[in-house]
């Protein structure tokens, strides 16, 4: 017993220091001088996502550590309606009004990781929604161009992103079908508001070697589509199930 007490005390001290450090990092993401009451919840959310990735890595690959780090910083509660702030760090999709939703954090992490972009990348997002995905991308890449079709939603997102100091996110209200020609080509494109086909103009605005990611489904993401443009301009698509699931029994 006499030996265990100091060891436990040491562990506690270490844990406290770590938590403080993480909280400080997390608080930096929220905004200067603002208390971050959701910091611990955010860390738990990313722990949950990491846990899920341990299960699904064989299907979707590992969680990108850089994405995890960013999601520890970006305050998701600032992107959901007040009624849902208490749920903001649960790993679940949430309604954001106007019939739209903010994706499950696991799906956000997965889609962001699939783009596999460098810090110098220029990104296009079709469907700003709450602005959360753009805020995550903003931490990862050089510039983010995002287009939202629903005006009030676009204005809300623009204001949120401005308040959070995401100056490398450029928003536009309007039609995303033809992309954003002036800033093309893009190293990565994320289409979170898909119709019944991938707009061909978007693929044309994709840099060779770039990727386009698109979730298919409504409130629940049925599957993800990853369009890859090779160096020679040829295009392949992949359809990914976000979940570890083998459709035949006894075939795990």
The nearest distance, CB 33 to another protein, in angstroms, is: 33
d(CA 3, CA 7): 7
Nearer to another protein, 22 or 203 (CB): 203
The nearest distance, CB 21 to another protein, in angstroms, is: 26
Nearer to another protein, 10 or 177 (CB): 177
Q: Which of 103, 119, 130, 234 is catalytic?
A: 103
d(CA 211, CA 225): 10
Nearer to another protein, 23 or 194 (CB): 194
The nearest distance, CB 7 to another protein, in angstroms, is: 34
The nearest distance, CB 171 to another protein, in angstroms, is: 15
Q: What are 170's strand-pairing partners?
A: 145
d(CA 69, CA 60): 19
Instruction: Give the chain's length.
Output: 252
The residue among 26, 213, 192, 159 whose CA lies nearest residue 93 is 192
The nearest distance, CB 122 to another protein, in angstroms, is: 21
d(CA 174, CA 169): 16
Q: Which residues contribute to the site for another protein (CB under 8 A)? A: 48-49, 51-52, 55-56, 59, 87, 90-93, 95, 97-100, 104, 106-107, 149-153, 173-175, 177, 195-200, 203, 216-223, 225, 227, 235-245, 247-251
d(CA 206, CA 35): 40
Nearer to another protein, 22 or 198 (CB): 198
119 belongs to the catalytic site = no
Using CA atoms of 85, 140, 170, 115 in order, give the dihedral in degrees to the nearest 10: -100
Residue partners of 73: CB distance under 8 A and separation at least 6: 25, 26, 28, 29, 139
- The residue assigned the tokens 């508001």 is 193
Residue 33 tokens, joined? 């001088």
d(CA 168, CA 143): 5
Nearer to another protein, 30 or 46 (CB): 46
- Catalytic residue annotation: 103
């Amino acid at each position: 017993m006499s030996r265990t007490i100091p060891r436990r005390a040491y562990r506690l001290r270490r844990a406290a220091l770590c938590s403080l450090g993480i909280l400080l990092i997390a608080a930096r993401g929220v905004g200067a001088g603002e208390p971050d009451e959701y910091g611990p919840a955010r860390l738990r959310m990313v722990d949950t996502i990491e846990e899920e990735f341990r299960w699904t890595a064989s299907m979707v690959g590992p969680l990108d550590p850089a994405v995890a780090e960013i999601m520890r910083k970006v305050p998701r509660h600032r992107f959901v309606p007040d009624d849902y702030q208490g749920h903001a760090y649960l790993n679940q999709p949430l309604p954001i009004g106007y019939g739209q939703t903010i994706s499950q954090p696991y799906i956000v992490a997965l889609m962001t990781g699939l783009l596999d972009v460098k810090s110098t990348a220029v990104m296009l997002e079709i469907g700003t929604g709450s602005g959360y995905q753009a805020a995550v991308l903003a931490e990862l890449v050089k510039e983010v161009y995002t287009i939202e079709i629903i005006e009030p939603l676009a204005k809300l997102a623009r204001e949120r992103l401005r308040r959070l100091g995401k100056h490398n996110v450029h928003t536009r209200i309007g039609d995303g079908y033809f992309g954003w020609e002036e800033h093309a080509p893009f190293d990565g494109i994320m289409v979170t508001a898909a119709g019944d086909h991938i707009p061909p103009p978007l693929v044309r605005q994709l840099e060779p070697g770039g990727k386009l990611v698109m979730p298919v489904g409504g409130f629940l993401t049925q599957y993800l589509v990853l369009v890859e443009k090779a160096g020679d301009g040829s295009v392949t698509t992949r359809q990914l199930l976000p979940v570890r699931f083998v459709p035949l029994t006894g075939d795990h």
